[in-house]
Structure 1
Amino acid sequence: MINKKIFLFASVLSLFIFSCQDLVDKQEASAQKKYTLWYEKPASHFEESLVLGNGKMGASIFGGVQVDSIYLNDATLWSGEPVNPNMNPNAHEYIDDVRKVLEDEEYQKADELIKNIQGSYSQSFAPLGTLFFEYDHDEHKSENYRRSLNISDATSEVSYQIDGVNYVREYFISHPDNVMVINLKSDALGKLNFTADFSSLLKFTTTVNEPIQKTDGYAPYRCEPNYSSNIENPVRFDDCRGIHFSNYVKINNTDGKVSFEGSKLILSEGSFAQILVSVATSFNGFDKDPVKEGKPYKEIAQRQLDNASKKAYKQLLSDHLDDHHALFNRLTFQLQEIDTLNLPTNKRLIRYSKGKQDKGLEELYFHFGRYLLIASSRTPGVPANLQGIWNPYLRPPWSSNYTTNINVEENYWLAEVANLSECHFPLLSWIENLEETGKITAPTFYGARGWTVGHNSDIWAMSNPVGDFGNGHPVWANWNMGGAWLSTHLWEHYLYNQNLDFLKQKAYPLMKGAALFCIDMMVKDKKGNWVTSPSTSPENMYVTSTGYRGATLYGATSDLAIVREVFNNTIRAAEILDTDLAFQNELKERLNELHPYQISKKGGHLLEWYHDWDDDDPQHRHQSHLFGLYPGHHISPERTPELAEAAKKTLNIKGDKSTGWSQGWRINLWARLKDGKRAYKLYRELLNYVDPTGLEANNSNAGGTYPNLFDAHPPFQIDGNFGGAAGVMEMIVQSTEKSIHLLPAIPDTWQKGKLHGVKARGGFELTFSWENKKVTNLTIFSKNGGKTIVHCNGETYEVSLKENQTIQIIA
């Protein structure tokens, strides 16, 4: 029997009222554990380096004793220049031809014809360069070496001892001051001696005017993907084209002697040195020529350097910590009060991979995901890419771009629930850019209204289908539902924050445009139901009854799942805003006439295809046809038990071994199915140690985690980090517009825990603890006021809150 307890307002039932939510937050923050990655040796590989970022500038620190390499990146440094979305003006003329052959069930012809509906590849995220510090050391004499990254403070440190002298290096990248700060110390006079140099895969020149080293350069105006091997001159430079950059390094404070030799900056006979690194680019927006209309990058780099130079090291550090803590300390997640396992992080991973319990590592990995989001996503219009903001390659894997058929969206599943809405804005504002190009792509390539985005995009908001004008396989090149999927993030942001101005001014117009495109991409099937045509299911292929292996079809389940979610969201948004009644009715009518989900008669699983065809790869990494279960909301064990059971069978057929991002997605899917045991099993497997040398036997194509906690696709992709962290929250809190479920998929091993500051849809913020998988106390805060139904411990609580009110439901 479920007991209903109705809370009209906290004062009615004499519940505890906290008049000042900030005070509660500060008390919780003061008790926040410190989370640290640490190692006994310098990094030899990028996947061992420790990463810092301020949401724009990124650094990967190797921490070598004799030579310390620091890879530098800037979120706005990409190849390319503004895109021409009208690059294939006749493409839409082939839509009817493709639809006709699909209607005639001629799938091979469809696969060939649809190649005419392709454009150029996206551009690539570029590496800025490497800053080298060569020390006057004999690394073979070093003792007591330790390299660490404190993600609670966003600071890194290297310490060691040589001939009885202790050396310490401290690093952080300040968001308030837009510089990287490096503090070098020795505890003996005259023992700090180093040479600083810079190198880059881009075009650059370096000059030194002590105590400043200035590098100015530029990225390629064209960089073809690393999988395009038949293109002449795949990387093309022109100093009159492309994004330009500056990297300025200053020895700001030291007791040593500063000099230079060529392009090298030299310090000798010191005991301390504080170094500032300032980076800027000419990128001035997706539609601005970075040379003719670019930002004054040299002046910006110099200004940042000058302003930071006026501050003492302690002030720079204090401002940085205040800024980072304001985001990081909002949320507390603890499975144990004290972490007693004192092992280097790489050894913890290896131990954990062998089946040992380690709740401290499970906590650390979750918080590392939050850390990476803060560090990589604070630049308007520039979301975290496939590698966040950390990339050392000129032609990186998959161009380190924005892949819209799952990856860029998965990067942001964590943002709202983990109370980092500000870090969601780079994606939300980028969607506005995509609408500008996408509303040209829609009629040009598809003869449709609204706006759309293809399989890949970049900083230039490229929206066309990729494939290099007919050279790409339709299985990935011709997917066209990126805009529709991305539009769901606008609705999610509203659900968590209840900002009506955002919904009216920003979200709804974009959501409506995505819905319009979906309407125009549909045709009636032979049964009179609406289906998308032409259609593909991301990166997977079918096998027809005649044995043809194809990609192009009509009515792929993933398309229709996204359409359902987009239509439902858009209808609800219009209802809230009391607008577009005729459009609401049109969407409702379409929903009623959509081709329904189908369950395989052969296997009982949810069909990915319109027909009951076999999958070319039954264990394929993508599970796009399960979109309605997660990240969508229209499939659930409670509301659609038959479809949920079919989704479960689909996941069982696919198995648990997959790429890192796919495992992250599957954690969330199993959590939505309320199967905490299976979700936790996948979380453990996501943390399987992967050796970056590629020589270890366990370095297979089955995901895992590198020594620095980067997700191993392999190679490194950051979406697995974000998806895995989001999966932790999905096991503990699930919410809709009208309800909140606590501990819906809590694994048996997480018998006890604490979660403070987690957000729920409806605009609520929760703090609660649990023991023996039962909630032992619970408080709820609402900034805007509102009503919700809370389900926990087998009971239902109807909650109504005033604006800026906190109540305690369970003491």
Structure 2
Amino acid sequence: MSPFNKTTKENRLWYRQPATRWEEALPIGNGRLGGMVYGGAADEQIQLNEDTLWSGFPRDTIQYSSQRHLKQTRELIMAGQYSEAEELLNREMLGRDVEAYQPMGHLKLQHAGLDKISYDEFERELNLNTGITTTKYSYEGTRYVREVYASAPDDLMVCTITADREGAVDVSVTLDSPHPYRVQTSGDALTLFSRCPSHVESNYFRDHPESVIYEEDRGTSYAVRLAATTKGKQAKISVIDGKLQVQGADQVTFYLAAVTSFESYDVMPVKEGALLEEECSDVITKAITHGPEVLRERHVKDHAALFSRVTIDLGSSANAELPTDERLIAYQTGANDPGLEALYFQYGRYLLMGSSRPGSQPANLQGIWNHQVEPPWHSDYTININTEMNYWPAEVCNLSECHEPLFGLLEDLSHTGRRTARILYGARGWTAHHNVDIWRTSTPTGGDASWAFWPMGGVWLTSHLWEHYLFTHDRQFLAERAYPIMKEAALFCLDWLVEGPDGYLVTAPSTSPENKFLTEEGEARSISMASTMDMTLIRELFDRCIDATKLLNVDQELANEWSEARSKLYPFRIGSEGQLQEWFKDFAESEPGHRHVSHLYGLYPGEQINRLHTPELTEAARVSLERRISQGGGHTGWSCAWLINLYARLLDSNLAHQFVRTLLARSTHPNLFDDHPPFQIDGNFGGTAGIAEMLLQSHLGEIHLLPTLPEQWAHGSVEGLRARGAYTVAIQWTEGRLASAEIKADLSGPVIIRSAYPLRVEGNEQATAQLTPQDDYVVILTMTAGQTIRVSS
């Protein structure tokens, strides 16, 4: 614990009224099981999710005619016939859409005898420190408290209602589902049985109606079981007409467990309902043996073990005592509130913990929280930015374990993607395109090439494997899990590259995700060759695979092959307006304010473009950003979050903070969910990563303290952030400049510390300090494993 760390301020969202819509409800989750708690008094509703509930089942999505059209498509591209190439690709090389993430149902609670309007002292909250939602209210002199949480250690949802008057708890609870369902009673418990659709055809941007198909023998089935225990001499539990009723209790605790028939991406989900019910019953029986107090204690301890690793204080706020929705409105109308920005940062960490834990599925477009059978964009894994953005905060924000589900998805995709690479393109290794679902679809989807055709999705995902290694230096992880997947993705890249203009190796067909350029004929097209995004990703993957072969002392011949190919890759180009080109030619942009800035990947999250080694490219990236933003870019929640990170890397504190402010003021719901619009969780995660990036950077082999500190955060501290190289960092600043920092090393080795201010190292006489050409101050020293040093300015 840092000696200068202040007591953690209360991290909570709170309101003076129940939620009236889903975007006002408060999320809980244990990685697998999620709920949206509305917090009503007379009537409570908890919308339920389980992370393996998706439409569909394992099926073959390969478009078998693709490979025979690949050569002709490439010939058309090389001849500059981009329209013809795109028309051919759209007609012959696309596939079918992925399946949709599904809602599970609702727990609905009615409080008998409570007038729906006449209650006093109402308050509902989500405490981020404990992961518990609480609703408090008084009625005719009796004080009621309801707590709801999703426990990771006991793998169920718990709802406890307590009254301060004996026998005052009279409630009834029901379960329902948006899918066809039945409710069965057994003893003093309810069990809901239901099944997901066998197919959901999303047409979110299309004119014809959406379709949902249910089949009796296909689709993932599931069971949700609800049981209760009570305290109080007069307490009674009964089950009548599908309702679980509690009367005369001092306290009641409801236990909700859910199990699905999903087993694996390649196994038909066929478990019988009786087995599902038995599994639910076993979970609840075990939980009841602990008792409500112990269950709560186990949950809080587990939650705090992750959440409390990082504390943050960005400064005092005049509106700190306001309810969260009122505080957000004040912020939207111009009030400064660094405390709200700190709360948003911690909320992002909370959401990642709630939607991604070891053993769970990865966080999807909505984390795990979805109430629609036909959710926007299928609530899938969109891997041309959104899934990756979900995990930007994982390592730096000290939630490395929460990264694990993404690695599991990568392992699965490396199997399904191997078949896709071979059959579609005649290539080695594995590939994945822009959409993935629980069945690990790796093929192009239907629609239009601008989004559907992008075989670099898997390449981008592999960057997370290397990032995890950089933050942890876990050699076993690199050898056994990361490098084998990276290697196969790099083999695909070798086979996917073809010789283009001037002997360079290029990708063809190539797109820059979801964006389009104008041909000489003025047509908006997306297919060409060697998009900057493609080249940046492949160059990065080759570099990292080469580094891995040296670290692991393997595959030297293959490393030589990657090195030779890397030297021939089409390079970055600067366009006529001084901007970084997005395509291999300086095409006019079809949509100058496009939401994606894929060509700037090398600036963030990559590092090929940086102020120390490539100042000209860095300036070109800045020009690209200015041009994009001047035309309305950054208008969606996640794209605004990306801008925070990009300007943090450019060390532009004013613009980085401006987009923090824009994200909260323009793209945030009352419950602080990101508003794309509609809700997408990536903006939350990208915003959290951006705030961390403003306070600490470590991508250039050094620890850069407060690189992008805005004037609005003049006084503050952060403790527990992680830096690449396996360091934990605490920083305190005052009057807009560094006061002191503590750095703890997990491993022994040299370290470089950079700051805008002169640095003094305490307790290390070997440290050397110097002023750099960038007018920064750098300290170079060697640390031993377990050592903590303190630097001050």
Q: Which amino acid aligns with 2:21?
A: H
Which of 421, 424, 427 does residue 448 from structure 1 map onto?
427
Cα deviation, residue 227, structure 1: 2.3
Which of 497, 522, 525 does residue 472 from structure 2 map onto?
497
Q: Does 1:790 align with 2:753?
A: yes
Which of 190, 208, 211 does residue 167 from structure 2 map onto?
190
Matches of residues 135-214 of structure 1 in structure 2 within 5 Å?
Answer: 135-136=111-112, 137-214=114-191
Q: Which residue of 1 aligns with 2:616?
A: 642
Distance 2:143 2:95 in 1: 58
Do 2:433 and 2:444's aligned partners in 1 also have CA atoms closer than 8 Å? Answer: yes
Cα deviation, residue 29, structure 1: 9.5
Q: Which residue of 1 aligns with 2:762?
A: none
CA gap of 1:448–1:296, structure 2 versus 1, over 3 A, is: farther
Which of 420, 436, 440 does residue 415 from structure 2 map onto?
436
Identity %: 39
Q: Which residue of 2 aligns with 1:510?
A: 485
Q: Structure 1 residues 402-411 or 171-180, which shifts more?
A: 171-180
Q: Which residue of 2 aligns with 1:19?
A: none
Q: Does 1:757 align with 2:720?
A: yes
Q: Structure 1 residues 362-371 or 57-66, which shifts more?
A: 57-66
Which of 489, 501, 508 does residue 533 from structure 1 map onto?
508
Distance 1:294 1:628 in 2: 50
- Per-residue CA shift, 1:59-111, capped at 9, x if unaligned? 001112221111000111111112325x3223111111100111111111111
CA gap of 1:294–1:465, structure 2 versus 1, over 3 A, is: farther
Which of 370, 379, 393 does residue 414 from structure 1 map onto?
393
Q: Which residue of 2 aligns with 1:74?
A: 50
- Three-state SS of the structure 2 residue aligned to 1:749 is helix
Cα deviation, residue 679, structure 1: 0.5
Do 1:738 and 1:787's aligned partners in 2 also have CA atoms closer than 8 Å? Answer: no
Cα deviation, residue 275, structure 1: 1.0
Q: Which amino acid aligns with 2:9?
A: K
- Per-residue CA shift, 1:584-617, capped at 9, x if unaligned? 222222222111111111x211111111111110
Q: Which residue of 1 aligns with 2:769?
A: none
- Three-state SS of the structure 1 residue aligned to 2:392 is coil
Do 2:191 and 2:277's aligned partners in 1 also have CA atoms closer than 8 Å? Answer: no
- Per-residue CA shift, 1:514-549, capped at 9, x if unaligned? 111112221112211111100111111110122121
CA gap of 1:617–1:293, structure 2 versus 1, over 3 A, is: farther
Do 1:207 and 1:262's aligned partners in 2 also have CA atoms closer than 8 Å? Answer: no
Matches of residues 303-382 of structure 1 in structure 2 within 5 Å?
Answer: 303-336=282-315, 341-380=320-359, 382=361
Do 2:189 and 2:239's aligned partners in 1 also have CA atoms closer than 8 Å? Answer: no
Q: Which residue of 1 aligns with 2:660?
A: 683
Distance 2:39 2:433 in 1: 40
Q: Which residue of 1 aligns with 2:110?
A: 134
Distance 1:370 1:30 in 2: 20
Do 2:153 and 2:299's aligned partners in 1 also have CA atoms closer than 8 Å? Answer: yes
Do 2:230 and 2:249's aligned partners in 1 also have CA atoms closer than 8 Å? Answer: no
Do 1:558 and 1:627's aligned partners in 2 also have CA atoms closer than 8 Å? Answer: yes
Distance 1:159 1:84 in 2: 51
Q: Which amino acid aligns with 1:527?
A: D
Distance 2:365 2:464 in 1: 18
Q: TM-score, normalised by structure 1?
A: 0.92
Which of 694, 703, 707 does residue 744 from structure 1 map onto?
707
Distance 1:431 1:411 in 2: 15
Q: Which residue of 2 aligns with 1:424?
A: 403
Q: Which amino acid aligns with 2:691?
A: V
Distance 1:259 1:504 in 2: 56
Q: Does 1:392 align with 2:371?
A: yes
Distance 2:711 2:557 in 1: 50
Distance 2:17 2:73 in 1: 58
Q: Does 1:243 align with 2:220?
A: yes
Cα deviation, residue 294, structure 1: 11
- Per-residue CA shift, 1:10-43, capped at 9, x if unaligned? xxxxxxxxxxxxxx38x89994332010011110
Cα deviation, residue 239, structure 1: 3.2
Cα deviation, residue 191, structure 1: 2.8
Do 2:228 and 2:253's aligned partners in 1 also have CA atoms closer than 8 Å? Answer: yes
Q: TM-score, normalised by structure 2?
A: 0.94
- Per-residue CA shift, 1:207-255, capped at 9, x if unaligned? 1234211112211121112427678882222232221211111112243
CA gap of 1:158–1:232, structure 2 versus 1, over 3 A, is: closer
Q: Structure 1 residues 557-566 or 336-345, which shifts more?
A: 336-345
Q: Does 1:805 align with 2:787?
A: yes
Cα deviation, residue 296, structure 1: 4.5
CA gap of 1:70–1:49, structure 2 versus 1, over 3 A, is: same
Matches of residues 536-547 of structure 1 in structure 2 within 5 Å?
Answer: 536-547=511-522
Do 2:747 and 2:786's aligned partners in 1 also have CA atoms closer than 8 Å? Answer: yes
Cα deviation, residue 381, structure 1: 6.0
Distance 1:490 1:295 in 2: 40
Cα deviation, residue 354, structure 1: 1.3
Distance 2:273 2:518 in 1: 50
Q: Which residue of 1 aligns with 2:31?
A: 55
- Three-state SS of the structure 1 residue aligned to 2:617 is helix
Cα deviation, residue 340, structure 1: 6.8
How many pairs does the alignment contain?
Answer: 767
Cα deviation, residue 200, structure 1: 0.7
Q: Does 1:405 align with 2:361?
A: no
CA gap of 1:763–1:94, structure 2 versus 1, over 3 A, is: same
Cα deviation, residue 737, structure 1: 6.0
- Three-state SS of the structure 2 residue aligned to 1:139 is coil
- Three-state SS of the structure 1 residue aligned to 2:18 is coil
Higher relative contact order (CA 8 A, sep 6+): 1
Q: Which residue of 2 aligns with 1:699?
A: none
- Three-state SS of the structure 2 residue aligned to 1:527 is helix
Distance 1:233 1:226 in 2: 6
Do 1:247 and 1:279's aligned partners in 2 also have CA atoms closer than 8 Å? Answer: yes
Q: Which amino acid aligns with 2:492?
A: F
Q: Structure 1 residues 88-97 or 122-131, which shifts more?
A: 88-97
Do 2:230 and 2:250's aligned partners in 1 also have CA atoms closer than 8 Å? Answer: no
Cα deviation, residue 320, structure 1: 0.5
Q: Structure 1 residues 184-193 or 399-408, which shifts more?
A: 184-193
- Three-state SS of the structure 2 residue aligned to 1:38 is strand
Q: Which amino acid aligns with 1:45?
A: R
Matches of residues 649-798 of structure 1 in structure 2 within 5 Å?
Answer: 649-655=623-629, 657-688=634-665, 704-736=667-699, 738-792=701-755, 793=757, 794-798=776-780
- Give the aligned CA root-mean-square deviation in angstroms: 1.9
Q: Which amino acid aligns with 2:17?
A: K
Cα deviation, residue 358, structure 1: 0.9
Q: Structure 1 residues 713-722 or 507-516, which shifts more?
A: 507-516
CA gap of 1:293–1:88, structure 2 versus 1, over 3 A, is: farther
- Three-state SS of the structure 2 residue aligned to 1:570 is helix
Q: Which amino acid aligns with 2:624?
A: T
Do 2:171 and 2:245's aligned partners in 1 also have CA atoms closer than 8 Å? Answer: yes
Cα deviation, residue 175, structure 1: 0.5
Distance 1:294 1:623 in 2: 47
Q: Which amino acid aligns with 2:44?
A: D
CA gap of 1:29–1:389, structure 2 versus 1, over 3 A, is: farther
Do 2:319 and 2:327's aligned partners in 1 also have CA atoms closer than 8 Å? Answer: no
Matches of residues 529-678 of structure 1 in structure 2 within 5 Å?
Answer: 529-601=504-576, 603-655=577-629, 657-678=634-655
Q: Which amino acid aligns with 1:157?
A: T
CA gap of 1:289–1:750, structure 2 versus 1, over 3 A, is: same
Distance 1:122 1:571 in 2: 34
Cα deviation, residue 650, structure 1: 1.0
Distance 2:155 2:508 in 1: 48
- Three-state SS of the structure 2 residue aligned to 1:190 is coil
Q: Structure 1 residues 30-39 or 653-662, which shifts more?
A: 30-39
Do 2:99 and 2:201's aligned partners in 1 also have CA atoms closer than 8 Å? Answer: yes
